[in-house]
Structure 1
């Protein structure tokens, strides 16, 4: 019950109780006065009779006028007694009522102590008639009290309505919904408390934004080249090593670009003009990387840029190099410099198990050869890469993916996620598809083609149904990876909400939906609201691949995820990578008290010890548990 309703109910009870007590007290007082008045009259009669016995003790006139006199005074019965018994009795023969209801009075005569008189009379209220004109003032008083009470209640309601609005806003804030109550509701009361909450919410929002900007600034200083905004050498090396040490990564290539004229350009046109050229060059490479999910670009030297292409053959890498050279030639150069003779590109392929340093050395060797060729040239280090599926075209991939969906060749392998006490609290479902040779392909191999073929939603629908089915038998939480666009579908939101409403809250809280940081960092308010609708129904949200790119962590406040999962590039070989430790510490500070941080890709006890010292809450990787196939049904 609201505070205002409680207060109004208390006032009503007090008023009604007071009116009732006044009424009862008045009735009791009136009753006492009526009986006292009757007793006074009876005493006067007794005194008169006592005095008349002295004057006319035996005269017949006494008996003649006494009955009429007693009747006139409404005496129903009278007995005069002495020690010898009753000497005189009077009964009103005209009375036909119940004599058992009469009130009797007994008096000892003062002038004749040997005599006593007992009288019986009716109740003083028996002949009382409650006429409307006599009761109008009572009813008028009750009406005045009732009207006054109603007016008071209405006034109290209006006065407390502002307090209720303020209380509602306070409950929303306690529930973690600060964004929807940043501004005060009209009429909030007390006004000073409302203004204080507004000010505190504004300060909290500013501190959150400052924290997100500070976190981003730390990671930008650690991983981002200040001039171009691209990944620096440290960040690019982390990503390259992660790709090469990932057994599911298969193959790829590194393209090393160099602006061969930069030194001369800076000498003639100033370093500021050279910086502009570097920024234009970086912008074109970054545009390509944004449009290709398997591409990573970084500035690895003063005039050198590196482009990492995962899941491509050397032939495909050469095609990309040729296309980028044509775009880079469109950058306008001042007179004396030629757009068809200022770039060199070295290409080196890699596959699982290669050394990142060796691959970069090969790319540098290829770059030197390309520079010797003159003009805008590229050169590829010739080597044989094992790639069974990378070279297949989109038509063959679409056919394979459609067959996997239609024939049930999509399977979900599992990997446990462990808390710091080494007890698993969740299991992540990892999609695999089976090719014509019954070989299981990992998501890193086929997922880029799922995106290119526009089949993300079909695979996500399947993942949701598998997760809900898995929860029926699982004793721990179940994680699934979904695309943000899938969660914007009304059918998907409806399916998950209905499921959460049908099951118990504890079961709903064991479904964890993982979303990519790259996607959630740029969501609008409406898109965030749909994800928050799932969270309000008990479904947990996790942010995957955190730290893969340098992004604002404001999404932690907007979406309130339960878990933040670090990208493997931040986790590996932490003992010798101080910059990575700094980035993880920054993310931990942003998530402190709001979300648990999970390290993904833990491969050694040494890395886990460092992560534990940093304060990471949980871990996932082959060091904890390998990826295992689901149990086959009998």
Structure 2
């Protein structure tokens, strides 16, 4: 752009210089023509005088010259005149005080014949010419007209070149990948044909990106959604359940519910497929409304007549309440035309805690479902082993008291996990948070984060974690750190003002920070102005933006480029056993293909085996993190 402006100024200056040169040549030619014309006119008068002198000599001889020559020579403005015949002076006129200096006089010496010779000194023909008022006015009008024309031409020329500047600006934005800004540049650039072509190409490219996002979402839907109910299918459920377990052991507590409709095939024969689909749609909508307050809940169709719900971070009492609400919401629907409305829907629940086997959990839920069916009435049954952790049993009041004391005592601390590239080189570290209770025991983030969100304490907790990263970890090395921020934190005015002032004060540290946001937050709140402004502020400060849990939900991926994310982190449900799951590989290929030409790195989390890492690298994943890679970096 700077080079284009310089060239534009040079071109404008060259035009003005060329115009001035043409005007100068024109004026010089006019002056030379005027001088030449006056000289020719003076020579013509001298020639006429010579003719008159010869004619007079032939007729009267050498006499009577004094009678008519003085007034004629006065009309000629003669300074000096000498006429001789055979070298004898016949008539002579001389003015002692000439009007003009000798340097501006013209001498004519001629041999007239018949022994006559002439010597005449006249002033330069243009020296005696003086401009009158009318001529001065005409010249002024001419110069003003020229000045106006030059000004008009300069403004027109500059305006035309400004159009080229706009084209250059749009071209630069396109080359830098800022397609949205390029589309927003005023569309009056010239040549207009090129400008219209750029606008059309940008529009087509935007449509292509949206179409790519729709295609990617279609692939995800076709792979992970049930076509009849538009909720997760069996593959989706297994992926999400695997993400909640490690080595087939659950990593958190919660509840798993199985909902089964009896004799669905008979109902379909009686009502038809369309009515059955409508009934299932009403049921899934009612259950989805009940689960809306549980952010990490999993809802899928496990089989033809069975739905499954998994809600982590739920206490036993809350699980009982949820089961009652789900059953009540389903039974409130108009199940007309079914065989036995009083014994049609059953729900079996199994409460699990960290360390429980995944296979055992599903078996327990199946047993609970059979127990509910044995009652031969629409009912639910909870399989309870009676083992509930003390942390799970804590009430909201106790959790709030614990978190507030931990904040005051600064008992939150950080853990780090390396993110490595395909060459096993460390790119950055992801920061995880932990808390310590009064007995010095560590409290997992999976336990206190849901409670902190309920209590509204996440901005204070994440500020304390970020302070440790900025002022404790970063001064020790040159590494880059990735920090996860919640929705409450990003929309908190106090937190955003503190973070902005801190990054302004420690500007070099901003380039070594990556702020991570969940995909679920971006998709659900992408029109939240406070969230958009916070992310834009972080990016302008020099920090990078990352979106995690990509693939956890079936949504489009157009938001990645709209929010200018630098990193995309695959959810562990997509990564788990990816070498054995072609549908997960298809999703990763589709995602990476949609981000082609975008400067976005795709990172996988939760890599636990060599086979997973090798498959991810073949698919084009840039980097990864997990226990397997942690062992490599430690070694």
The TM-score by the shorter chain falls in which range?
0.7 to 0.9
Secondary structure of the corresponding residue to residue 393 of structure 2: coil
Tell me the CA shift for residue 266 of structure 1. Answer: 4.0
Matched-pair contact (CA < 8 Å) for 1:329–1:340: no
Change (3 A) 1:339 1:538: farther
> Partners in 1 of 2:118 and 2:627 — Cα distance?
115
Is 1:222 the counterpart of 2:227 in the alignment? no
SS in 2 for 1:413: strand
Q: Which runs of 5+ in 1 are unaligned?
A: 54-58, 81-88, 629-634
Kindly state the Cα deviation for residue 548 of structure 1 after the two structures are TM-superposed.
0.5
Q: 1: CA distance between counterparts of 2:387 and 2:491?
A: 43
- Residue 550 of structure 2 corresponds to residue 550 of structure 1: no
SS at match of 2:628: coil
Contact kept? 2:170, 2:182, Cα under 8 Å: yes
Equivalent pair of 2:290/2:325 in contact (CA under 8 Å)? no
Q: 1:299–1:18: structure 2 CA closer, same or farther, 3 Å change rule?
A: same
Instruction: Give the direction of change, closer, same or farther, for the CA distance of 1:499–1:111 in structure 2 (3 Å limit).
Output: farther
Q: Which deviates more, 238-247 or 576-585? A: 238-247
Per-residue deviation, 1:380: 0.7
Q: Distance in 2 between matches of 1:151 and 1:9?
A: 15
**2:596 aligns to what?**
592
For 1:217-616, what aligned pairs fall within 5 Å after superposition? Answer: 217-245=218-246, 249-266=251-268, 268-334=270-336, 337-339=340-342, 342-352=345-355, 354-375=356-377, 376-382=379-385, 384=387, 387-462=389-464, 475-484=478-487, 486-488=489-491, 508-524=510-526, 527=529, 530=533, 533-534=536-537, 535=539, 538-594=542-598, 595-616=600-621
**CA deviation vs aligned residue, 1:29-62 (integer Å, no higher than 9, x gap):** 4345556767888899999999999xxxxx9999
Match of 2:624 among 607, 619, 622: 619
Asked if the contact 1:346–1:370 (Cα under 8 Å) also holds between the matched residues in 2, the reply is: no
Which deviates more, 454-463 or 510-519?
454-463
TM-score, structure 2 as length reference:
0.79
Aligned residue runs from structure 1 range 152-163, under 5 A: 152=153
Q: Does the 8 A contact of 2:412 with 2:465 survive in 1?
A: no
Tell me whether 389-398 or 275-284 shows the greater mean CA deviation: 275-284
**Residues 440-477 of structure 1: per-residue CA shift (max 9 Å, x gap):** 43432211112111233334555565666566776344
Partner of 2:89: none
- After superposition, the Cα gap between the structure-2 partners of 1:475 and 1:112, relative to the gap in structure 1 and judged at 3 Å, is farther
Q: CA deviation at 1:566?
A: 0.5
- Pick which of 140-149 and 576-585 moved more: 140-149
Count of equivalent residues: 619
Decide whether the 8 Å contact of 1:575 with 1:606 is kept in 2: yes
Please report the RMSD computed on the Cα atoms of aligned residues, expressed in angstroms.
Answer: 4.8
SS of the aligned residue for 2:456 comes to coil
Are residue 133 (structure 1) and residue 134 (structure 2) matched?
A: yes
After superposition, give the CA deviation of every residue in 1:489-542 in whole Å (9 maximum; x if it has no partner).
Answer: 6666666677777887x8655443222111222445574863674345654322
1:56 corresponds to: none
Write the distance in 2 (CA, Å) between the matches of 1:532 and 1:78.
99
How has the CA–CA distance of structure 1 residues 19 and 465 changed in structure 2, closer, same or farther, with 3 Å as cutoff?
farther
**1:297 match: secondary structure:** strand
On the 8 A contact 1:255/1:347 being kept in 2, the answer is: yes
The answer to whether the 8 A contact 2:364-2:383 is kept is no
User: Does the residue aligned with 2:138 lie in a helix, a strand or coil?
Assistant: helix
Q: CA deviation at 1:141?
A: 2.3
* Separation in structure 2 between the aligned mates of residue 356 and residue 339 of structure 1, nearest angstrom: 32
- Cα deviation, residue 323, structure 1: 3.2
CA distance in 1, matches of 2:597, 2:341: 56
Deviation at 1:617, TM superposition (A): 1.3
Q: Secondary structure at the match of 1:351?
A: coil
Going from structure 1 to structure 2, the CA distance change for 1:392 and 1:608 (only over 3 Å counts) comes to: same
1:343 deviates by 0.9
1:156 deviates by 5.8
Q: Which digits, 9 at most, give the CA deviation of each residue in 1:132-166, with x for residues without a partner?
A: 32333322222333334445556667777777766
Q: Tell me which moved more, 528-537 or 475-484.
A: 528-537
Cα distance in 2, alignment partners of residues 108 and 557 from structure 1: 95
Worse-superposed segment, 529-538 or 390-399: 529-538
Change (3 A) 1:380 1:29: same
Q: Distance in 2 between matches of 1:472 and 1:37?
A: 95
CA contact (8 A) 2:109 2:118 kept: yes
Give distance in 2, aligned partners of 1:166 and 1:495.
40
More deviation in 600-609 or 2-11?
A: 2-11
Instruction: Pick closer, same or farther for the CA change 1:417–1:31 going to 2, 3 Å.
Output: farther
Change (3 A) 1:569 1:336: closer
Task: Name the counterpart of 2:30.
Answer: 26
Change (3 A) 1:347 1:123: same
Deviation at 1:309, TM superposition (A): 2.2
